[in-house]
Amino acid sequence: MSRRALTLLLAGFLVLALGVVGAFRPVPYVVLSPGPTENTIGEVDKKPVISIKGKQTYPTSGALSLVTVAYQGGPAAQIDLLTALRGWLDPTVAVVPQETIFAPDRDPKEVEQENTVEMTNSQDSATAAALNELKIPYSMVVSVVSTEKGKPAEGKLLKDDEINSVDGKPAKDVTVVSDAVKAHKPGESVVFNVTRGKDKLDVTLQTVAGPKGQTLVGVVMQAKYKFPFEVDINVGDVGGPSAGLMFSLGILDKLTPGEITGGKRIAGTGTMEPAGKVGAIGGIAQKMVGAKDSGATVFLTPADNCAEAMNAVPDGLRLVRAETLHGAVQALDALRSGKGEVPACEAG
């Protein structure tokens, strides 16, 4: 073999070796893919997803399924380049920078705790929204769960403090408190009035900028409700707030005569405020794929996600625009009866 041929052979081998090694090197990306679905009027591990005690319930049929997004990667288990490349070639998944899911200045344990609290808040807000829709009264306080290390609230707001108001605005729910803080520019002061034990006091905090530019003080809150009957929601280790709409519809279906689905397999997503407003969520493309794979033919879509959803909707899945819980109920009534308007998503 000539020296030239040997040199080319060795160079090619080196390039191949470097390519193989590089393909298995960790990269700071996360792969998002369709996650499992759960029927909120069905069962998980032979237990009802929604159990109601102390109030009459009614039979249900069909499905009202929440949808999820599964992720692979993160600071503790980074994916390799080959996995990222496969994800970029798969139209049903998304590959996103790691910091969009895991903020670089956040402790993963804090993020996990916050997701758990968000799921609990989501369940309670969904119950509150369903009861508001049925005009059933209840009471609520916003309570401090924890504060983030190094943030303004640390040492000033304490666990179990009950937040009465922010800048004089009554703390009607967690969203109201959060929005009141976000209304400030970083560096401005915000005043919390709290009940601590038997005392009421004002706590002034200087806001700071969060990892995505939003204003925050570093407090994790939870709405503590007193409902007139028991509503228990069992979804295993699913986290985050995006199942709120489907929880509310499942509760309503069980508390009212007739079957809200008309026997159809309905899936959907959206955060839920106690007042009934449906909020936007992330991962809409992956969630629609999960919905279609579960057999759903109708997908309730937050209004603010409609344009994005129209660009990625799977064949055979009908998108129904949902702005409020009441609107979603009316849309399902129209689908079931064949009468009335069914609000549709429109392309952006």
Q: For residue 47, what are the β-bridge partners?
A: 44
What is residue 266's three-state secondary structure? Answer: strand
What gap in Å lies between CA 128 and CA 124, rounded to an integer? 6
Concatenated DSSP letters of 39-58 = ETTSEETTEESEEEESS---
160: left (phi over 0), alpha (psi -120 to 50) or beta: left
What gap in Å lies between CA 334 and CA 328, rounded to an integer? 10
What is residue 267's three-state secondary structure? Answer: strand
CB atoms within 10 A of CB 279: 18
Structure tokens at 78: 């980074």
**Within 13 Å, how many C-alpha atoms sit on residue 65's CB side?**
27
For residues 153, 157, 163, 164, the Cα torsion angle rounded to the nearest 10 degrees is: -100
Q: Is 242 a catalytic residue?
A: yes
Structure tokens at 87: 């994800």
Decide if 238 contacts 266 (C-beta within 8 A). Answer: no
The answer for residues whose C-beta is within 8 angstroms of residue 271's C-beta and 6 or more apart is 122, 125, 241, 242, 244, 245, 278, 279, 280, 281, 302
Q: Is 287 a catalytic residue?
A: yes
Which one of the listed residues 242, 248, 277, 292 is annotated catalytic?
Answer: 242
- Residues labelled catalytic: 242, 287
